[in-house]
């Protein structure tokens, strides 16, 4: 259960405590309730594995919250913040980190500015692929920051492409050093992607950061998987580290076939004069048409 704080002004929802929620104020000055705070997440380290996903739509976010997902990430574009804001609104009680673009900040000052923009929209934290220098600037400004280590797709040229990282001693040491650098910079968490499970388990024991595992097996403090993988939104091939718990892609294909069939049937019935039938039209009162034609002289 998340940590609870005393009221310091404003009126929280009456049932917030009953639902295990913590009353918070965002960095933007807005009151709300959350299932976790940064402190609450840290308190869970080493005690139990949390679950995390990244929804792409408000509907997915609302479903994740209703199902009981512990934490969420959402992609955040500073130039088009509306989609992230809509997802924040759809899952208003769930701890949410806005994933900020790597190339959006070209200086520590810009990193702080983008972080503040995300927090003002209701983010509880930001997730980034920035260097420790940028992370340090944002963390010093009071922004909770989650870094990224292991396979960092947008930086994958440095580690040999889109492949597992950490299977050699040099790579394993590099991952550990990157995570410790993020720790020193003031991050609260780190996403660790596609690394050996046993390596992540050992690193997790040796860092104060909350480790979010995607493709790192059960070695992390959080198990992270994209909503599109969980729900089966896309066709194969699937990432090796993913699992599809539903097949929404097939449902969407079935729905499209139903759309096509519906339109085709409509076309056929119009051309064969089966539609509209008598039950679909308005009947003219008796003598109306005769009187109408008499009036217009035709």
Task: State whether residue 63 is helix, strand or coil.
Answer: helix
Whether 168 has a pLDDT exceeding 80, the answer reads: yes
Query: What is the reported pLDDT for 7?
Result: 36
pLDDT over 90 at 85, yes or no: yes
What is the average per-residue pLDDT within 68-76?
Answer: 98
Structure tokens at 143: 């922004």
Element (H, E) at 176: helix 169-185
Q: Among 85, 93, 71, 70, which Cα is nearest to 120's?
A: 85
pLDDT at res. 258: 98
Helices and strands: H and E segment counts in the chain? 10, 10
The structure tokens listed for 188 are: 């609260």
pLDDT at 15 over 60: no
For domain 22-246, give the CATH superfamily.
Phosphoenolpyruvate-binding domains (3.20.20.60)
User: How confident is the model at residue 12, as a pLDDT?
Assistant: 42
Please state the separation of Cα 244 from the chain's center in Å.
17
| Mean of per-residue pLDDT scores for the chain | 93
Cα gap 159→142, rounded to integer Å: 31
Q: What is the pLDDT of residue 108?
A: 97
Rounded Cα–Cα distance for residues 216 and 227 (Å) = 17
pLDDT in tens, 117-159: 999 999 999 999 999 999 999 999 999 999 999 999 999 999 9
Tens of pLDDT, residues 174-219: 999 999 999 999 999 999 999 999 999 999 999 999 999 999 999 9
Residues 267, 252: Cα–Cα separation, whole Å: 23
Question: What are the domain boundaries of the chain?
Answer: 22-246, 251-296
The answer to whether the CB of 145 falls within 8 A of the CB of 123 is no
Can you state the percent helix, strand and coil of the chain, rounding each to 5?
A: 45, 15, 40
* Cβ neighbourhood burial of 77 (10 Å; 0-12, 13-18, 19+): middle
Residues with Cβ within 8 Å of 232's Cβ and at least 6 positions away in sequence, in order, are 244, 245, 246, 247, 248, 249, 250
């Amino acid at each position: 259960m998340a940590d609870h704080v005393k009221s310091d002004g404003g009126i929280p929802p009456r049932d917030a405590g009953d639902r295990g929620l913590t009353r918070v104020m965002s960095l933007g000055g807005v009151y709300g309730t959350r299932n976790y705070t940064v402190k609450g997440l840290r308190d869970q380290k080493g005690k139990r594995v949390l679950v995390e996903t990244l929804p792409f739509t408000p509907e997915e976010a609302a479903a994740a919250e209703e199902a009981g997902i512990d934490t969420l990430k959402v992609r955040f574009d500073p130039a088009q913040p509306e989609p992230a804001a809509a997802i924040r609104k759809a899952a208003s009680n769930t701890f949410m980190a806005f994933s900020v673009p790597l190339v959006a900040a070209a200086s520590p000052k810009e990193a702080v500015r983008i972080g503040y923009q995300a927090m003002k929209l209701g983010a509880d934290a930001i997730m980034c692929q920035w260097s420790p220098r940028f992370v340090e600037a944002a963390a010093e400004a009071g922004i909770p920051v989650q870094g990224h280590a292991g396979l960092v797709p947008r930086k994958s040229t440095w580690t040999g492409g889109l492949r597992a990282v950490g299977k050699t001693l040099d790579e394993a040491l590099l991952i550990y050093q990157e995570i410790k650098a993020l720790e020193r910079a003031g991050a609260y968490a780190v996403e660790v992607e596609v690394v050996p499970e046993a390596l992540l388990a050992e690193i997790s024991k040796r860092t104060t950061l909350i480790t979010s595992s995607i493709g790192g097996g059960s070695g992390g403090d959080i198990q992270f998987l994209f909503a599109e993988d969980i729900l089966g939104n896309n066709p194969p091939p699937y990432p090796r580290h993913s699992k599809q718990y539903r097949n929404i892609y097939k449902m969407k294909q079935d729905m499209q076939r139903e759309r096509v069939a519906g339109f085709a049937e409509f076309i056929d019935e119009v051309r064969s004069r089966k539609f509209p039938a008598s039950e679909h039209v308005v009947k003219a009162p008796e003598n109306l048409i005769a009187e109408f034609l008499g009036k217009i002289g035709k």
